[in-house]
Every structure is written in structure tokens, then in C-alpha cells.
Structure 1
Amino acid sequence: MTGGAPLRVLVVAKAPVAGRVKTRLGADVGDDVAAEVAAACLLDTLEAASAAVGAEHCHLSLAGDLTGAVRGEEILAATRGWRTTAQVGDGFDERLAHAHAAVAASGPGPVVQVGMDTPQVTAGLLLDAAAPLATHDAVLGPADDGGWWVLALRDPAAASVLAGVEMSTPTTYDDTRAALEGAGLSVGGTRVLRDVDTVDDAEAVLGEIAPGSRFAGAWRGLVAP
């Protein structure tokens, strides 16, 4: 990476509270089950981040309160040693920009940012996403629904261009890439991953995730007999 500064991982997430997370999934399996699945997804993601760079280089940008959230105490334990900040902004685009700005304010170094919708992410995938920063200013990993699952930046302050980009649309990947390139950043790519938003998504991801993952355990235990 640039200048020998450490790589950071930023996880942007919601506290897994029933009715507030994975509402599309909840419409099919119930809000309580969806919140359990969301908690498992988040815990798998936190584990991958810590394994990739160490807890001291991990950041969590959290919407909501873990008090009363599903597996809240476990999530707190998993983020011990992390820097946790509350999400700020009206829309998700603004919250993403502010989350990256908080990482930038903590010191120099590149960042890899993910959400909580890809429990199949591993430490290796996070490091692979950062690797093209050797020759690019940014790396954007597409999701198969038209969005993106990972954004790596040499300078997290560059995420200010995300403000104004509409998120959660079929063109979010293209729009985000255009915003980055419009700011003069060179953008590399990495592999496609599938977000877990629906039952079909969950079943597909189940086929590619480690059987011992929290997501696999939650899905098989709560949904798949």
C-alpha cells in the first residue's frame, strides 16, 4: 500500500433489530428470523475483517443501538478493539461518505469498506479487493443485483463523491463508478459477490459459504429444516 500506512477495514452496518434489518427477507421468513440472519451475517463479516487486518485497524460505522439487538453482546465482543462510530447523514450515500471521513480522520492509510449483506466474504477476499490499490486509486466490487459489495480507496476522504449517488438501485454500481471516475480517480475491479436480500439469495450464498459459518448455522437452523 501507499507510504507504508496500514490498511484499514470499514464495516458499515445496522444493528440487527427485528423489523429494521433485511426487511425484504423478513417479508418471507418473518422479521425475527430475518434479524437473526442479519446478526449472523454481521458476525461473519466482523470476523473476516479482524482476520484480514487485525482489530486495531478495523472500523464499524453503526446505525442503531446494539442494546436489545439480536446477538448484541456477541457483536460487542467481536468489535472489541475496533473504532465504532454512529452513522451520520440523511441518506445511505451521505452515511457512507461520513463513515469514510471518520476513517480518514483517524489517520493515513487505505481502506476497504464492506456492508453486512455478504457473509461469504473472507479475509482473503478483503485483501484481494485491496490489492489493485497498488496501481489504482479505488477498487469497486460489483454485486450481482447492480449494486456493489466492496469499495477500496487509497484515501478514504475520496468517498465524499458518494454523497449524491443513489444507493440500492439496479444502476448503483455504474453510478458509483462514474462518480469516482468523474472525480479523477482510476478505478480497478474485483470479483462479483451476491448480497443476501431474499430467500433465493440466501440459498445461493449457502452453497458457497463455509458450513461452519454463523450465517450457515442460522439459515439451516431457522429456515431450512
Structure 2
Amino acid sequence: MSAPRIQLLLLAKAPVPGRVKTRLCPPWTPEQAARLAAAAIADTVDVLAATPAVARTLVVDGPLPAPPGWHRREQRGDGLGPRLASAFADTARRGVATLLVGMDTPQLGVAHLVAAAAALSRADAVLGPAEDGGWWTLALRDPSAATVLTDVPMSTPDTYALTRSALHRRGLRVATAATLRDVDTAPDATAAAAARPDTRFAALLSTMAPVGAAR
């Protein structure tokens, strides 16, 4: 099986105070949390822009423009699972695989995405586990397979396992990408910054007050 042509999707929420990264408050204010979210988005955009692909699309909830040269689609659907499924459906291109990432892994590197895309040469899907039991990327040779996400509970400790099972039930061969840590809490933020100290996210975090106990 040869490696397919691939497009990249970034699922993101506009960095509006009080609407993003609320679990970072405390120790930070909603405004600071929104600034961290904006930095994470910018870092992820840089990585996707440097990764070979036939197209890149920002799939967004809220008032956030697409980077130059990117496409933009509004998120649609009631709940994260349907929104993920719609992101794949709304951007599908004939003969092109789709790799989706979120805005929660500012430590992401080009090598992570290149490896995940290459794994499609031996699999129908590639799923990247997150340390909290979720997943940070899903790549599909056939984007229509993302319909299985509609019924998968998201943001739970079992989301990765349930997603993998749903893909297997559809008859797909699933490869595993590297494990990363989503930034949901203050300890997550410090760990992500330590993993990639060269990012905007890490630079911004270093200017903020010391981290206290996250709620």
C-alpha cells in the first residue's frame, strides 16, 4: 500500500476569554488562558504549514481567520464527536487522505505529523493517543470513515480506546502515532512548554506568574 496524498485540518476554537482553556483558571485569568490558547494555535499553524500536504484547512468555532493560503470552514454539529465527523466530511477531497489535529498540543512537531502521515502507507487510519485517555490526531485514508466519531463519547478517559474500537468495527486497520499530552490543566501547560521550549506557548508561559494548583 502506497502512502496517499494528504491534507491537514486544524480544529480550533477562537481564543476568546472565558470560552477557551477555562480549566487553566486558576492559576491564570481568562484573559491569560486565552492568550495561551492563541499561542498554541499559532504554534500548531506553524507546524502544519511546514508539513508537506496538498491543502490545509482551519476548522473553527468562532471569529478566527484562516492563515494566508489556508482554507477555512466553520465547525458544525452538536457536541465534539459530530463536529469532528463534520470536519472530515466538509473538507473531503477525492483521492486525498485527511489528517486532523486540535489546538491542544503546542509541543507538536513536524516529525510527529510526517510519521503519522507515513503510517497511512500500511494502515487505513492512524490514531495518536493523548496521555489523558483521549487522542490528539486522527488520519484517515477515506475521510467518510469519520462518521464513526458521531457516537464516540469525547473528553473521557476512554475516548482513545472507544475511538479505536469504532474504527476497527468499521473494518479499518489502525496504526498508532506517538503519545502526546493535551494542555487542559496548569501541569499540562508546563509539561508542554518543557517539551518544546522554542514555541510561542513556552515563551508566553515563562512570562506568567508561577503556576499554582489547578482546579
Q: Which blocks of at least 5 consecutive residues in structure 1 are unaligned?
A: 67-75
SS at match of 1:7: strand
Could you tell me how far 1:212 is from its partner in structure 2?
2.8
Report if aligned partners of 1:138, 1:187 keep a CA contact under 8 Å in 2.
yes
Deviations 1:89-109 (A, max 9, x none): 0011000000001121x4431
Deviations 1:136-168 (A, max 9, x none): 100101000000011111111211110011100
**Structure 1 residue 83 corresponds to structure 2 residue 71:** yes
Q: Which of the residues 55, 61, 64 maps onto 1:63?
A: 61
Deviations 1:171-206 (A, max 9, x none): 000010011111111101011000111111111112
Could you tell me which amino acid in structure 2 is paired with residue 97 of structure 1? A
Q: Which blocks of at least 5 consecutive residues in structure 2 are unaligned?
A: none
Provide TM-score, normalisation by structure 2. 0.93
Count of aligned residue pairs for this structure pair: 211
Report if aligned partners of 1:7, 1:111 keep a CA contact under 8 Å in 2.
yes
Q: Residue 208 of structure 2 aligns with which residue?
A: 222
Q: Residue 122 of structure 1 aligns with which residue?
A: 109
Q: Which of the residues 84, 99, 112 maps onto 1:96?
A: 84
Report if aligned partners of 1:19, 1:26 keep a CA contact under 8 Å in 2.
no
Report if aligned partners of 1:146, 1:169 keep a CA contact under 8 Å in 2.
yes
SS at match of 1:39: helix
Report if aligned partners of 1:52, 1:123 keep a CA contact under 8 Å in 2.
yes
Q: Percent same amino acid at aligned positions?
A: 47
Runs of 4 or more above 6 Å deviation: none
Q: CA RMSD in A?
A: 1.7
SS at match of 2:38: helix
After superposition, where does 1:20-169 map in structure 2 within 5 Å? Answer: 20-53=19-52, 57-66=55-64, 76=65, 79-104=67-92, 106-169=93-156
Could you tell me which amino acid in structure 1 is paired with residue 205 of structure 2? W
Alpha carbons of 1:223 and 1:84: their partners in 2 closer, same or farther (altered >3 Å)?
A: farther
